[in-house]
């Protein structure tokens, strides 16, 4: 059974339009252990992804994607020129992992304000105070509700 996820990206860094143009991308640069563990230990090929624009004028869900490749070591951790370089990581003992994400479709922007307006989504992790994780699980009922809103 597939799982569902919300994955945040700042549109000035990487937007749903970038994903639409490129088709798929390694979700690199995650440097939070809990988000890393979601990718490394729980995300599987075929899992659904809500592509969420964050840190912008109007944050919200901007599209649908899916996990298209299982977790593997994030190459940016080994590159001293990368802002994601980690001097403690080695190819034999990587610390950071990423999955690949494939574009499914762009949607209307389902804004954070609109998400907050639906009681059915009140427990959604992205709506909880203090939640700053870039990757969060989405309950199947929340996913279904959002898919109905976006159809």
Ordered alpha helix ranges (H), 38-139: 112-116
Query: SS3 of 78, please?
Result: helix
User: What is the C-alpha radius of gyration for the chain, rounded to an integer number of angstroms?
Assistant: 15
The residues spanned by each domain of the chain are: 4-140
Is residue 132 very low, low, confident or very high in pLDDT (cuts 50, 70, 90)?
confident
Residue 32: per-residue pLDDT: 95
pLDDT in tens, 33-88: 999 999 999 999 999 999 999 999 999 999 999 999 999 999 999 999 999 999 99
CATH-assigned architecture of domain 4-140? Roll (3.10)
pLDDT in tens, 13-34: 999 999 999 999 999 999 999 9
Q: Average pLDDT for residues 8-15, to the nearest whole number? A: 96
């Amino acid at each position: 059974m597939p799982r569902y996820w919300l994955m945040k990206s700042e549109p000035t860094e990487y937007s749903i339009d970038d994903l639409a143009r490129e088709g798929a991308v390694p979700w690199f640069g995650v440097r939070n252990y809990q988000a890393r563990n979601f990718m490394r230990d729980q995300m599987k090929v075929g899992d659904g992804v809500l592509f969420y624009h964050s840190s912008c004028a109007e944050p919200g869900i901007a599209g649908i994607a899916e996990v298209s490749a299982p977790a593997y070591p994030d190459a940016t951790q080994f590159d001293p020129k990368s802002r994601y370089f980690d001097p403690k990581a080695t190819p034999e003992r990587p610390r950071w992992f990423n999955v690949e994400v494939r574009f499914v479709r762009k949607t209307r922007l389902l804004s954070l304000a609109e998400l907050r307006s639906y009681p059915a989504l009140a427990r959604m992790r992205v709506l909880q105070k203090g939640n700053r994780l870039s990757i969060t699980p989405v309950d199947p009922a929340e996913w279904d509700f959002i898919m109905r809103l976006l159809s």
